[in-house]
Structure 1
Amino acid sequence: MERKNLTIVGGGSTYTLGILMSLIEEKVTFPLKSIRFYDIDSERQRFNAEAAKILLQELYPEVEEVIYTTNKEVAFTGADVLFLQIRTGGLEMREKDEQIALSHGCVGQETCGAGGMAYGLRSIGDMITLVKDIRQYAPEAWILNYTNPAAIVAEATTRVFPDDKKLINMCDMPCIIMESYADMLGCELWDLVPEYFGLNHYGWFTRILHRNGEDLTQKIKDCIINQGFSATSNFIANEPSWQETFKNMQTMLKDNPEFLPNTYLQYYLYPQKMVAKEDINNTRARQVIDGREKEMYTICKDIIDSGTAANANLESDTHGVYMIRVAESVVFNKGYRYLSIVKNNGIISNLQDDAMVEVPASLYSDGVKPYAIGEIPTFQKAMIESQLGYEKLVVDAWFEGSRQKLINALTLNRTVINVPTAIKIVDDVLAANKAYLPQFFNDNK
């Protein structure tokens, strides 16, 4: 099997070493010749990359070249696959996003509501520039993007690159939810076949099948309603906020038992409850800064100082394995079936064609082949259309520099709705992001 060249964009991410452990676990089916790391923060990336060199030397010596750089030409030239995991503004701006929303009594979350809007506005420009630069140096490479908020990023990049069949937007959250289903049932994650529809972080599982054909949907519902639900993926299992999120699945399912919900629907269905449990001085972003970020820095430093990864507490995770299996599927034409974010074009027959929907698809070397969903029920359709209007208006606003469209967007978003509140949030978001969003500060905007 031909070995490939991988570039990880956002090499300073706290998720990078987990991805490397997943690459090591999957090296037989997705063998690599080289790994390159690219990040605009050279110092942050250095810790990850120097630790990675030691880790790979010990556990993946078949990788001939490991490079980390802030030079796009070096990072992208010759790449076969690129993983994109950028966070424009870093965790510090994420904390501001969450605090601004909470200060107005609204959901303060990374990808949902006002926080998701702010993060999305910052992400759009960098993502467009990145894809253009990648296509300059690696015109035939696969770009697998899981940068959040994926719905807004996918909407923007599809407008600018409508014909790029090797740019795939996706999210691992449904896969992580299914891992908990699998652990609850005593089977393997990769044995489960999902039927699903919605927008990113805004969808429903209609059925879960075992690959042997058995319909497991009712069994899963019964288990969640009668026993509760917990996060079992090692990617999130040790984080209290994620455990609380998965616990809320029981409430969502009891209140509306038709379909199995995505965890993120809690923010839209119970916004007041979500706000009430938050501490503006200890947001989820602050917990990551004080928790996972410090932990990963310490692990990297220990590996570098000791010259070995033998004592490091590292393991592969579902997030990394999922991305690698997607890459394997498209690079080696395997046709694996995973959820992907694609233009609707009749997939959901009673939803507008230009919606970026998240649905099952088979992934081949000639692109993503989504499965038809047909009509969806009135309740889910109405929810999706409101959220879709919000997402499209946010992207419109970024291209036009329109403050009014941001206000309209938040007015549609179920976490805000109230126009005076939307106005105040938009003004605060724009003030905090002036350096990132100059187009909103021209005359008459």
Structure 2
Amino acid sequence: MIITIAGGGSTFTPGIVKSIALRQKELEVSEIRLFDIDKERQDKVAVVVDWILKEELKTNIKLTVTTDEKEAYSDASFVFAQIRVGKYAMREQDEKIPLKYGCVGQETCGSGGFAYGLRTIFPMLKVIDDAEKYAEKDHWILNYSNPAAIVAEACRKLRPNARVINICDMPIAIVDIIAESLKIANYSEIEYDYFGLNHFGWFTSMTHNGRDILPDVKAYMKKHKILLPESHIGKINEHKKANNRHAVSAWVHVWEAMYEMTEYFPDFLPNTYLNYYLLGKESVEVSNPDRTRANEVMDTREKDLFDGVEHFLKTGEIDGKAFYAGAHGDWISDLTIALKNDTRQRFLVIVENKGAIPNMPYDAMVEVPAYIGKNGPEVIAKDNIPLFQQGLMMQQVNSEKLIVEGAIEGSYEKILQAFTLSKTIPSARVAKQILDDMIIANKGYWPELK
């Protein structure tokens, strides 16, 4: 079996490949292909991937590294799509332009997410079309290219018959943090229920060995005023004492906001990304407009990987920091096993609602649990959701639909409507100012707007 990773030059690629290789028996994978339009970057990432397959894990999995679509997709059974159009240079603009106007600057939320979505829609459609042309007839595309909600809506509207499953690993990353915080050895032992949109949802239940652990999570946050393991909290406190910039990392404030949001609205446990909508003003106040999350990632994960490659080429030694591996790759690989082996394991997926949440639109792309087997997701239906969550979700769904419609039609007005509708932007005037700056910054990436 062949697995192709579209966006092979990503810093996440080595960790994902390791997760695949560790499941070689269940997946029966014989070849992994890396595909990217940036040859120089992908070739560097491939150095680490090759070492993982041959030296660390000593597998017989063939590695192919290519910039040619036909070579990448021919006879592939699975395509993992993780494209980042414009790379981190454009992410930096997504985050810094809104902050200039006192609005949330984040890569997938608010106007930054809209900008990223407008760059990603049509390149993602090309991935779908190329896979349709060259891959196995019954191939699956597992898409976790951000912003997943906008990409999923575009796929629904423009490629309704595509064999695409849109996914996001953030809920499982939250569960992983909770497991570590509560000293639960294996996050996969935690069972949970959830509803929402991508980066916009709530956990409604969470159990371990049949015991409700949401009260434990809330008690832990009340004690520490943050949802992070004690080991992380200790490091943050050390950084604060040393006046180290890691103490004010953008992600620290996000995990602190989990406590505040749950105190205000205790019925459900929110996704971390709701911080940008429910505490947008406070998010802006703690943001550094000159150093955003994009800068943090470029100075850490990006730098670690490429410095690690250079070190390996000089010495033959791989630094442990050279690649990131964790729940991200494991979750995607386990989903692949469920599809291939028809296990009907339960996963969160982004799917067309079709009545799964009765009081949300039929064609809304919602994030809900589903059983995964060879025929794809079998969605687990929910009851009506409360008015507060429904109202927030409707505002977000409509703004994302307007982005997709605006991209298809080349409509400046619809894109402006989407920006104005976002809960992260206070007025139409500010929405227009941000949009006009973003049009200039995204020249050559966005469709032309009239």
TM-score tier (shorter) = over 0.9
Query: Take 2:353 and 2:156, find their aligned partners in 1: how far apart are those partners?
Result: 12
Other-structure match for 2:81 = 84
Q: Which residue number corresponds to residue 65 of structure 1? A: 62
**How far apart are residue 342 of structure 1 and its match?**
0.4
- Amino acid paired to 1:186: K
Gaps of 5+ in 2: 237-245
**Which residue matches 1:109?**
106
In 2 relative to 1, CA 404–233 (structure 1 residues): closer, same or farther, beyond 3 Å? farther
The answer to whether the Cα contact below 8 Å between 1:7 and 1:37 also exists between their aligned partners in 2 is: yes
AA of the residue aligned to 1:423? K
- Residue in 2 that maps onto 1:43: 40
Pick closer, same or farther for the CA change 1:98–1:316 going to 2, 3 Å.
closer
Cα shift at 1:20 = 2.4
Hey, what does 2:242 align to over in structure 1? none
Other-structure match for 1:18 = 15
Any conservation in 1 of the 2:21–2:59 contact (CA below 8 Å)?
A: no
Cα deviation for residue 311 of structure 1 reads 6.4
Q: Could you tell me how far apart the structure 2 residues matched to 1:283 and 1:311 are? A: 25
AA paired with 2:283?
M
Q: Is 1:374 the equivalent of 2:383? A: yes
Partner of 1:169: 166
Q: Which residue pairs with 1:332 in the alignment? A: 341
What is the identity, as a one-letter code, of the residue corresponding to 2:192? Answer: P
Structure 2 distance, partners of 1:255, 1:429, is 34
Q: For residue 305 of structure 1, report the CA deviation from its aligned partner.
A: 2.9
Which range moved further: 48-57 or 238-247?
Answer: 238-247
C-alpha contact (below 8 Å) 1:10/1:37 kept by paired residues: yes
Q: Which residue of 1 is the match for residue 365 of structure 2?
A: 356
From the superposition, tell whether residues 133 and 179 of structure 1 become closer, same or farther in structure 2 (CA, over 3 Å): same
The code of the aligned residue for 1:160 comes to: L
Name the residue aligned to 1:198: 196
Which residue identity lines up with residue 117 of structure 1 in the other structure? Answer: F
Q: 1:320 aligns with which of 308, 322, 329?
A: 329
- Using a 3 Å threshold, how does the CA distance of structure 1 residues 234 and 14 change in structure 2: closer, same or farther? farther
Alignment pair present for 1:181 and 2:178: yes
Distance (whole Å) between structure 2 residues aligned to residue 156 and residue 438 of structure 1? 14
* More displaced 10-residue stretch of structure 1: 41-50 or 283-292: 283-292
* Aligned mate of 2:121, from 118, 121, 124: 124
| Shift in Å, 1:426 | 1.2
8 Å Cα contact 1:51/1:304 also seen in 2: no
CA shift at 1:114, angstroms? 0.7
Query: Does 2:398 align with 1:401?
Result: no
Could you tell me how far apart the structure 2 residues matched to 1:420 and 1:30 are?
A: 52
Using the size of structure 2 for normalisation, the TM-score is 0.92
SS at structure 1 position matched to 2:202: strand
Give how far 1:22 is off: 2.3
- C-alpha separation between the residues in 2 aligned to 1:247 and 1:225? 11
Q: Residues 60 and 81 (structure 1 numbering): CA distance in 2 closer, same or farther, change over 3 Å?
A: farther
| Partner Cα distance (1:400, 1:346) in 2 | 28
**How much does 1:310 deviate?**
7.6
**Corresponding residue for 2:243?**
none
**Aligned pair partner of 1:207 in 205, 209, 212:** 205
Residue 360 of structure 1 aligns to a residue whose secondary structure is: strand
Separation of aligned partners in 1, 2:320 and 2:356: 49
Instruction: State how far apart, in whole Å, the 2-side matches of 1:311 and 1:251 are.
Output: 35
Paired residue for 2:393? Answer: 384
Could you tell me which amino acid in structure 1 is paired with residue 7 of structure 2? G
Cα deviation for residue 243 of structure 1 reads: 2.9
1:292 corresponds to: 301
Structure 1's 286 and 125: CA in aligned 2 closer, same or farther, altered over 3 A? same
Report the residue type matching 2:146 in the other structure: N
Change in 2 beyond 3 A, CA 1:368/1:232: farther
| Of 114, 138, 141, the match for 1:140 | 138
**Is contact 1:400–1:439 with CA below 8 Å preserved after alignment?**
no
Q: Distance in 1 between matches of 2:165 and 2:395?
A: 24
Question: What TM-score results when the alignment is normalised by the length of structure 1?
Answer: 0.93
Q: Structure 1, residues 369-408: CA drift from partner, whole Å, max 9, x if none?
A: 1111110001000000001111100111000111111111
Task: Give the distance between the partners of 1:232 and 1:160, measured in 2 at CA.
Answer: 42
Alignment partners' CA distance in 2, 1:277 and 1:344: 36
- 2:310 maps to 301
Root mean square deviation of aligned Cα: 2.0
Aligned partner of residue 288 in structure 1, secondary structure: helix
Counterpart-to-counterpart distance in 2, 1:234 and 1:390? 39
Correspondent of 2:156 among 155, 158, 162: 158
Identify which of 4, 8, 17 aligns with 2:5.
Answer: 8
Q: Is the 8 A contact 1:201 1:262 kept in 2?
A: yes
CA distances 1:9-59 after superposition (whole Å, capped 9, x unpaired): 111111112222323433343342111100000000000112221221113
| Cα 1:232–1:176 shift into 2, 3 Å | farther
Say whether the 8 Å CA contact 1:111–1:119 is kept in structure 2: yes
1:314 and 1:193, CA in 2 relative to 1: closer, same or farther beyond 3 A?
same
Matched to 1:155, the amino acid is E
- Distance in 2 separating the partners of 1:163 and 1:234: 46
> How far off is 1:345 after superposition?
0.6
Distance 1:74 1:422, change over 3 A: same
Structure 1 runs not aligned, ≥5 long? none
Letter in 2 for 1:18: G
Contact 2:407 2:447 in 1 (8 A): no
Aligned counterpart in structure 1 of residue 443 of structure 2, from 434, 440, 444: 434
Counterparts of 1:31 and 1:194, CA distance in 2? 30
**Correspondence 1:422 to 2:434:** no
Over 3 Å counting, the alpha-carbon distance change for 1:233 and 1:308 in structure 2 is farther
CA contact (8 A) 2:97 2:438 kept: yes
Q: How many angstroms apart in 1 are the aligned matches of 2:353 and 2:46?
A: 39
Task: Say if 1:179 and 1:232, in contact at 8 Å, map to a contact too.
Answer: no
1:86 alignment partner, SS class: coil
Structure 2 residue 63 is the aligned partner of structure 1 residue 54? no
Tell me how far apart the structure 1 counterparts of residues 229 and 90 of structure 2 sit (CA, whole Å): 29
Change (3 A) 1:351 1:233: farther
Count of equivalent residues: 435
Q: Give the residue type in structure 2 aligned to 1:174.
A: P
Alpha-carbon separation, structure 2, partners of 1:315 and 1:119: 23
